[in-house]
Amino acid sequence: MGVEKVKNIESTLLSDNYYILNKVTFDYMMKSGVWVNQMREVYDRGDGAGILLYNREKKTVILTKQFRMPTYLNDNKDGMLVEIAAGMLDKDNPEACIIRETGEETGYCLKKVKKIYEAYSSPGVMTEKMHFFIGEYTDAMKVGEGGGLDSEAEDIEVLEMPFEKAIDMLNNGEIVDTRTIVLLQYAIIHKLLD
């Protein structure tokens, strides 16, 4: 067992309007051996899952486009973001979540997906861990329109496009969502659509 580096953790609830925001104070041992008291605001919105849908035969991918208020407030002129299908884990596991979200958002019913990564979204402030998947789709898997759930006020445009166009959008700055960038780069590195 190594030396414990964190002690005296105290958490104070700041907000639980939609997700949970806590003020966390703690003592942290620096590498010099000196203990320092620190404070962080920690946002807990749960974990999520995202997927890149791809079709080898047509050499296409399915992405979504929707309004994202935080991006609108930070230099995204219309607030619209092109991104992978994704969602928050409810009480299900990541695989069940992403199959459900894929159907709700894109209208495609997948039977199997492949998990490729887990990663923290913004570890300086959020507890969220994203589970990254890829999934191969065919036209026969299209069972609905997608677009999200009215009950969640989702207004999602489904975009099926050539993989090369998605890469062009990535390279020219039209795709700026980190989750989407990670999965498109995975597809390039692993030659999913070659």
pLDDT of 149 reads 61
Total of domains in the chain: 2
Same domain, 36 and 106: no
Distance CA 44, CA 163 (A): 34
Q: Are 26 and 8 in contact (CB under 8 A)?
A: yes
What's the confidence (pLDDT) of residue 42? Answer: 96
What is the CATH classification number for the domain harbouring 149? Answer: 3.90.79.10
Confidence of residue 152 (pLDDT cuts 50, 70, 90): low
Position 1 in a domain? no
Is residue 154 a known part of a binding site? yes
Give residue for tokens 């010099």. 32
For residue 57, say whether it is annotated as part of any ligand binding site: no
Q: Does residue 160 fall inside a structural domain?
A: yes
3-state secondary structure of 111: coil
Span 94-132, pLDDT tens digits: 999 999 999 999 999 998 999 999 999 999 999 999 999
74 and 36 co-located in one domain: no
Give the pLDDT of residue 151: 60
Q: Are residues 116 and 35 in the same domain?
A: no
Report the predicted TM-score, pTM, of the whole model to 2 decimal places: 0.90
Range(s) of the domain holding residue 12: 6-44
